[in-house]
Structure 1
Amino acid sequence: MTVRRRRWLHIALAPLVVAATLTAVTAPAQAAPGSGSSSSSSTAPDEKGGDELSDNSTLNDVLESTNRKYVQAKAQVATSTTQQKALATQIKDAEAKRDALTPEVASIAAEQYETGRLSASRFLLGADDSDDFLSKAVSLEEINALHDRKLHDLDQAIDAVNAKKAALDAEVKAQQTNLLAMKKQKESADKALALLGGESLTGGFVVAKSPVAAPAPRNAQGGFSPEACTVDDPTTNGCITPRMLHLYKEVKKAGFNRFVGCHRDGGPFEHPKGRACDWSLQKSGFSVAHNADMKNYGNNVMAFLVRNADRLGIYYVIWYAQIWFPATGWHAYHGVSNHKDHVHVSVL
């Protein structure tokens, strides 16, 4: 076989080498975007902060759910970002292969011109004998096919990787949005726990949501004017203020129906003024919380009061040796009673 023919047969084998290379270029390092576990990343988070939670869910349930979902969302973004980088590398490698072959293809095109791509008959009729004619025919076919195929295959590979990267970019963007939502829900759950005294007071064993109380009447300036003890106390023979009665009814409406004591004669604080009530943990009298039911009941009464403090005109709440003011939050309480047998609430 002539040297010229061997040269063109060698060139003709090049697309097979290129095709084998493209197999590695186009295959993604990991699962394609939208498949497997990564497809769940674009799912919008539910309003309760992750897993479906019932109306009776505790704040502890919400905290666990939001933290789990937040960690999962972070992992999904990290995994997909790694895939992004891998695909970007594949695109760069494919483009480099294409750029390296461009001079060779240009050389082929030049030789096509020299041998007469547009006048194949002149090129073939210039053969010295039948063997030379066959050699020129094979070479011409190889030249024509190779010119189109080499760059076409590489451009296809680059387009395929670009398409995968575009899909993954969109997925990562959705995952980052989901991560931001999970972060906000996690922060919201953490704030909710802090509002209710943190881990030390409730341990998270408190309802995730409390009923919304009807607002107490306000004055023309939007505040709460002082009120006298002018209405009958439903828990004693004494009196309470209209605002205290409103709070009492709202707490009852929220489902807290165990023993309550409001007016009490004597003492310097709000009970004699009809501006305070004590919510017991049992149906009759007062007893220190000695089981989970009693502690959780107190937690939930306290949560309802604190969450609705602005609507009800609450001055402060005392529960389990802690006192809460709307302006300053929770602090240790060192009064005569440690308030582990009832929740105390005072109104303005």
Structure 2
Amino acid sequence: MRTTPVVRRLLLALVLALLVGPAAVAVPAPALAAPNADDEGGTKKLRDALEAAARGHIDAQRKLDASVKRQKQLAGELGDVEKRLSALTEQAGALAARSYRLGRLGPVTMLLSSGSAEELLDRVAELELIAQRDDRALGALGEARIQAATAKQAIDAEVGEQRRQVAVLAQKKRDAERALATVGGGTSGGFVSVNSPLAKPAPRNADGSWPSESCSVDDPTTSSCITPRTLHAYQQARAAGFTRHTSCHRSGGGGEHPKGRACDFSAAAGGFEDRSATGGDKTYGDRLAAYFIKNASRLGVLYVIWYRQIWMPGTGWRSYSGGGSPAADHTNHVHLSMY
């Protein structure tokens, strides 16, 4: 039986392996599949707590920002009203002074001071015009006073809203710190770079909030689905040069993966490996994490986990211990969770 060159090479490699032992044949370790829910460390309770705290912070911050913006607009409107009110008050004072000096011209006075019926009619018409002008001025003054009072009440309401949202932000920060205390939680240097490129912002609602999204678009990294905002973040990262292997949707477990709102980005060029990233792979992960942090408000980032650290909008970078393995400690991949 004749053998092909490929078969002969395989037979030769087998003979050599049998003669000199398994150590003589170097077989590269294959890249691992994406971490599963159990591998990634942290409990469902922890992931749910982190999601709730991050979402609460983002919502409260948006409301606070909107209230501050609204207060600034109201202050400008109040300033304009107060200027008009000052001018109208001065005008009303002049009218009052004139009325005090001359008194109102009554019918008897007009009759006595008029030389003829025609002059009397002219005086009546003139008096009517003056009365109409005075009434308009006084009406505008009253309206301006009402507008000023309304603007002040609205500003007071916005200040109250801001106090409430600041309290919510403080509470959400405490919630996050309490949840993270079980997996480290101490402050850390984190990964930040002013040189990170800017991402194209994801669409928002008219009031600045994030649209509610479901797992409705094809996941380019698996055969399942992700949300449009998650797809946008994935595409923006790739456009910025972060093109190494990524896995987004994953069934089972808690967190955002099953909802299509999370992606794992391998640090190694060949895919997920069961070892902590070093050298260029570590630098790649550092840069990717910094990219997502710089663009968190543009993309709708809930939190990022990388190299035993976690970033959340209310806490910044904190230490994070997932259990000791490269997958659980996120030392072989960057985890991104989306709003």
Q: TM-score, normalised by structure 1?
A: 0.41
Q: Rg larger in 1 or in 2? A: 1
Higher relative contact order (CA 8 A, sep 6+): 2
Q: TM-score, normalised by structure 2?
A: 0.42
